[in-house]
Amino acid sequence: MGWKSEHKQQTKARILSAAGQLFTRLGYERVSIDDVMAAAGLTRGAFYAHFGSKSELYAEAIVTAAIRARNLLLEPLSESPSVDAIAARYLSPERARDGDARCPLAFLATDIHQRDDQVRDAYTRVLKGFARTLAGNTTAVELSPQTLRQLVLLVGGLALARAVNDPALSQCLLDACRQGVNG
């Protein structure tokens, strides 16, 4: 079973990529399995050959979207980027509007509590990973209060800047949070 299973993995990856972007942009309920499969160039019937349920897809898609967002975020930065450098990119105005590199941590934050443990576990793991990136990938097990505050200023700040219907306030929120991470 050489190519066959490899081709299946590629198909699954295509579904996950489409799902990651759709879910991050629109949330769980506004995206149907039809939407995801159509975006992946397939039809609904093929879905259950790869995933057991929509919720299972969601959990995996969050991880996929987070990896993608993380790569796009850190790509132009140094190998051990400062929190300032991360914040400057993470809190840029394009991200609050519907930029290309949407962060599922910020855009799905309040959606997670409504889902099952599988989804919540995935989100929690990804959030911890981002916190460790902010902490400079130290080997320390504990996350410092300062790192957690920076995490909240980034993720929470981006989420609120996106929610708000007032561009000026949105910009002020991003600026204030960026400044707070630096200080």
| Continuous H helices in 49-99 | 54-74, 83-90, 93-96
Reference 63, options 31, 103, 110; nearest CA is 103
Residues 47, 65: Cα–Cα separation, whole Å = 19
Residue found by looking up tokens 């972007």 in the block? 21
Residue 53 contact among DNA, a second copy, none, beta carbon within 5 to 8 Å by kind: DNA
What DSSP character marks residue 30?
T
Q: Residue type for 158, please? A: L
Kindly state whether residue 120 participates in binding a second copy, applying the rule CB under 8 A.
yes
The residue written with tokens 């790569």 in the block is 71
Q: Shortest Cβ distance from residue 6 to DNA (Å)?
A: 10
Return the range that interacts with a second copy (CB under 8 A); candidates 41-49, 60-68, 74-82, 113-121.
113-121
Residue 43 touching DNA (CB under 7 A): yes
- Is residue 163 part of the contact set for a second copy (CB under 8 A)? yes
> Min. distance of Cβ 97 from a second copy in angstroms?
10
Sign for the pseudo-dihedral over CA of 32, 34, 37, 38: negative
SS3 177: helix
Q: Report the residue from 16, 18, 50, 73 that binds DNA according to the rule CB under 7 A.
A: 50
Residue type, 46: A
55 binds, among a second copy, DNA, none (CB under 5 to 8 A by kind): DNA
For a second copy, the binding residues (CB under 8 A) are 26-27, 29-30, 106-114, 117, 120-121, 123-124, 127-128, 143, 145-146, 148-149, 151-153, 155-157, 159-160, 162-166, 169, 172-173, 175-177, 179-180
For DNA, the binding residues (CB under 7 A) are 4-5, 8, 11, 31-35, 37, 41-50, 53-55
